[in-house]
Amino acid sequence: MKKSLLLFGLLFTISAINAQIITPKFGSGIKFMGKDSSYYMKVGLRFQNLVALTWDLEDEEEGFVSDFNALALVRRSRLKFDGWAVNQRLKYKLELSLSNRDNGGGGNLDEFGNAANIILDAFVQYQFYKNFTIKFGQGKLAGNRERVISSGNLQFVDRSRLNSRFNIDRDVFIQLGNTHTLGKEFIIRTMASISLGEGKNQITGYNGGFDFTYRAEFLPFGKFESKGDYIGSSIKRETTPKLSLGVTWDNNQFAIRERGQLGDFISDANGTNFGKDLNTFFVDCMFKYQGFSFMGEYARKTTEDDDPFVFDEEGNQIGEFYTGSAINLAMGYMFENNIEFALRYTEVNADEATDEEHYTVGLNKFFVGHKLKLQIDFSYVDREDSQDFTLLRTQVDIHF
C-alpha cells in the first residue's frame, strides 16, 4: 500500500511539471490538463467517519446498558482518478479503497491472491459511434439504482438492506451502451454486459459460466440536473418534475458464491467449486421535483431450480444461496437552508434466511452538497424469529 501511494505521488509530480493544474473550488478535485491537450485527469480524495450505536431489544427488562454496542471507524476512504486520454471520447476511471473496512479483501483466500481488494474501479470507456459506447474493465454492473449511486452521494448514512442482500456489485466486464432520445425529451438508455460473475479482482479465472446483465432506463421528462437520477437527495432543485424508471435482468451462470459476485465461495472439502445459475431482477425509479425526492426499488433473486441449497456429490450440504425478494422506498425533502428530512422503509423476504423490516428516519445537513455533509439516521429493525434492535448512526463525509 505504501509503495503504491509513493508511486502515485511520483506520477503526480511528473504530471505537474508537464501539465496545467486547475483547482477551481472545494469538492471539484485537483485537475490536470496536458499542455498539448492530449489528456485530462481529475484527482479526488474523500473519507467518511462513522459512529454507530446499537441497542439489542431481546430483553428490555435488563436495560439498554447490557444490550448496548458502539462502533467508531473510518467507514470509507477513497482515492479516485478519472478523465480522458487522447480525446474526450476515450474516458477512464480508477478508484482505490484505503480503509480496511472499505476495501474488503481476500484475507487468506486463494481466489483473491491472499490480498486486500483495494482496486474498486479500473475501466476505460470509448464512444465509438454517435451515442454508442463500449466499456471494459472492473466496475459496478448495471444493477439496482441504489448500488450504482456512489457511496459519497447517498441520502442516508449507508445503503439499505435490499442492496446489501441482493445487489450484483462489481465485476470485470465488457459493456455496450446506448442513449437514444425520442422527440425533444424522452430519453432511453440501454446497457448489456458480459462478465466472469465472481466479483472484483477474482484471479482464479473461468469457473464454468459467465454473467450476463441487461438494463434499460426510461426518462420521459428529460435529463436530471447534474446527473441527479444517480444522486441521493435533491441537491439540485428540479424546476420541472423529473422521473427515471429502470429495469435490470442478470443471469449469473454457474455462480459459485452465495450472493453471486459476493459472499462465500461454495466448494467441497477437496476445493471443488459447486454452483447454480443465479437470476436477479430489479425494478427501480427516481423522482425529483424542487426539494422533494423519491426512490423506489424492488429486487428478486432466484436459483435455476428454485432451491437455494447446494450439495456435494455425496449429498452433503456445502452451501446456500441467498435468495428471495425485497422492496426499498426512500423519500426526502430538502429545505432552503440545505437541511433535509428523509424516511426509508425496507422489507426483505428471504427464502431461507431471516425476514426483516427496517424503518429509518434521517436528518442531513449539506454544507457543500454531498462534498461536505453531516448525516444522522435512526433505524428500528424488526426481524422475524430473531431479536429486534435499534441503530443510531452519525457520519461526516468530506470530498476534496
Q: Which of 19-33, 210-224, 293-307 shows the lowest mean pLDDT across its residues?
A: 19-33
171 Cβ partners below 8 Å, 6+ apart? 138, 141, 195, 196, 197, 198, 199, 200, 211, 261
Q: Which cell numbers hold the place of 371?
A: 462534498
The confidence score (pLDDT) of residue 157 equals 97
Task: Specify the pairing of strand 68-85 against strand 87-97.
Answer: antiparallel
The confidence score (pLDDT) of residue 380 equals 96
Question: Is the pLDDT reported for residue 15 higher than 60?
Answer: no
Question: Is the pLDDT reported for residue 8 higher than 90?
Answer: no
Percent of the chain with pLDDT over 70: 92
d(CA 360, CA 347): 12
Which tops the pLDDT comparison, 2 or 149? 149
pLDDT (tens digit, 9 = 90+) per residue, 39-87?
Answer: 999 999 999 999 999 988 765 555 555 588 999 999 999 999 999 999 9
265 Cβ partners below 8 Å, 6+ apart? 109, 111, 256, 257, 273
Contact present, 345 and 318 (Cβ < 8 Å): no
274 Cβ partners below 8 Å, 6+ apart? 256, 266, 267, 268, 310, 311, 312, 318, 319
Mean pLDDT, the chain, rounded, equals 91
- Amino acid residing at 32: F
The confidence score (pLDDT) of residue 382 equals 94
Full-model pTM? 0.90
Domains parsed from the chain with CATH numbers: 44-399 (2.40.160.10)
How many helices and strands in the chain, by DSSP H and E?
Answer: 4, 20
Give the DSSP H/E element, type plus range, for residue 163: helix 161-166
Residue 294: other Cβ atoms inside 10 A: 15
The confidence score (pLDDT) of residue 63 equals 55
pLDDT (tens digit, 9 = 90+) per residue, 93-139?
Answer: 999 999 888 876 555 677 887 778 899 999 999 999 999 999 999 99
